Amino acid sequence: MKLSITLFSLSLIVLLISMQTLPYGKNNLQVVFRYDDYSKYSRLPMEKELFEMIKSHGGGALVGVIPFPYADHPKTAKEFDKSVFLDQEKIDLLKQYHADGTIEIAIHGFAHKNNELLDYRSEYAGMPIEEQETLLHIAKKELEKALGLSINALVPPFNTLDRSTLDALKNQGFTLLSAASSTPFYQPDDLNYLPGGPYPNKLRKVVKNALQANHYDALIVSTQHPYDIEESGVELPEFRKKDKQVKLSDIKSDLTYITNQKKTELTSIKKLSSEPENLSAERLIANMRLRNSFVSKHRLLPGPLALYPLSGLHYTVKSAKDMYARQIVNASCLFLSILAAFVIIFNLILVFFKSSKKLRLPLLLTATFLLGLAAVKIYTNQFYFISALALNVGLAIILSIFSSKNSYQSKV
């Protein structure tokens, strides 16, 4: 009993102390853009206006260029003798906004075609590494030739790749990859990473959520395609039909909104690259660990503690690690204090109830039921807060019965 009271008090104190200081408001919330599917076919006047708007607000973007839209994949570099399918105006636009630091340029695949090797869409995944290297090598070399610039970034079509793609990228001298918000096979020595984030119709909400939760210490990468924007003249594809297109004026209004917020700023790939940690593999790995933690996945903490990573935010290494550690400390303290509280309650019932022996069997049956329920929930991967509570109460009953039995025997 004494032990339970001490445990309850201690864990409650630690929980209250760690709730006091949320550290995610030290830096500015940063927003950068990624624009995919720039090709011979995308609408130039819309792109011109978009880049100019981003520039005039002091922002930046990573632009994914499709060098050979819908061309066949060559097996070797020797059998391919085409140059990139971009007309001069398209090339000039890229050069102009690259020169002033507004955009950084990436290859967006080779032909943006699904290789149909796996059960999900990808241009690279599933291919032997040599073939992936050939595609990366030609796309990089030809785009560099056309633009007169060094190209070191890849935005894989459909955001998909495999481990061989990462090795092929390293072999071909790439330094930056931008795909989905997580890439499970990433390793600490892999190249820099820019995770794709909210589509333009969701951007404002993601920023607002971050500001509301005081989660400033993060980066938001708003990912756009021509079909996200009404003026592109392209409709949303089938898999995005539920989303809404935005107008260029909406993007302008978002840019103004972002620049008007305190502690929120637009940034560029150039600025982000000047600080090695910003786009590091370590940052991605820390964020993936936080998003996949047991506490995040099973929502084991009350929402107001704001210890869950918000959708669309790429936290700094420090914040991601700190949130992860706080999740463990807070969840441990919370459930220890609940366990201790229930042990105290059941002990009191057993001590003060006149026929406490009669109570033991129904309590033991209740405990068995609760522990069984928690076990089933763990097995079926549905272990949420309520199952954790059931596990706690079940354990508390068993501990109370044993401790009351021992104290009874010691009295005898």
Identify which of residues 159 and 356 has a Cβ nearer to Zn ion in the complex.
159
Q: Is 36 in the site for Zn ion (CB under 5 A)?
A: yes
Piece of the chain touching Zn ion by CB under 5 A; list 92-100, 138-146, 152-160, 249-257: 152-160
Pairing mode of beta strands 314-315, 218-224: antiparallel
Q: Is 162 in the site for Zn ion (CB under 5 A)?
A: no
CB burial of residue 232 (10 Å; 0-12, 13-18, 19+) = buried
Shortest distance in whole angstroms from residue 112 CB to Zn ion: 6
Piece of the chain touching Zn ion by CB under 5 A; list 34-42, 173-181, 233-241, 404-412: 34-42
Cross-strand partners of 266: 31
Piece of the chain touching Zn ion by CB under 5 A; list 154-162, 201-209, 332-340, 362-370: 154-162
Shortest distance in whole angstroms from residue 237 CB to Zn ion: 10
Q: Is 228 in the site for Zn ion (CB under 5 A)?
A: no
- 31-65 burial code (b ≥16 CB/10 A, e <16): bbbbbbbbbeebeeebbebbbebbbebebbbbbbb
Shortest distance in whole angstroms from residue 64 CB to Zn ion: 7
Half-sphere exposure of 388 (CA within 13 A, CB side): 17
For residues 43 and 48, what is the distance between their CA atoms, to the nearest angstrom? 9
Piece of the chain touching Zn ion by CB under 5 A; list 6-14, 28-36, 88-96, 195-203: 28-36
Cβ-based neighbours of 136, under 8 Å, separated by 6 or more: 107, 110, 154, 168, 169, 172, 174
Q: Is 190 in the site for Zn ion (CB under 5 A)?
A: no
Using CB under 5 A, pick the residue from 15, 31, 35, 37 that binds Zn ion.
37
Shortest distance in whole angstroms from residue 37 CB to Zn ion: 4
C-alpha angle with apex 287: 284 to 290, nearest 5 degrees? 150
Binding-site ranges for Zn ion (CB under 5 A) = 36-37, 157
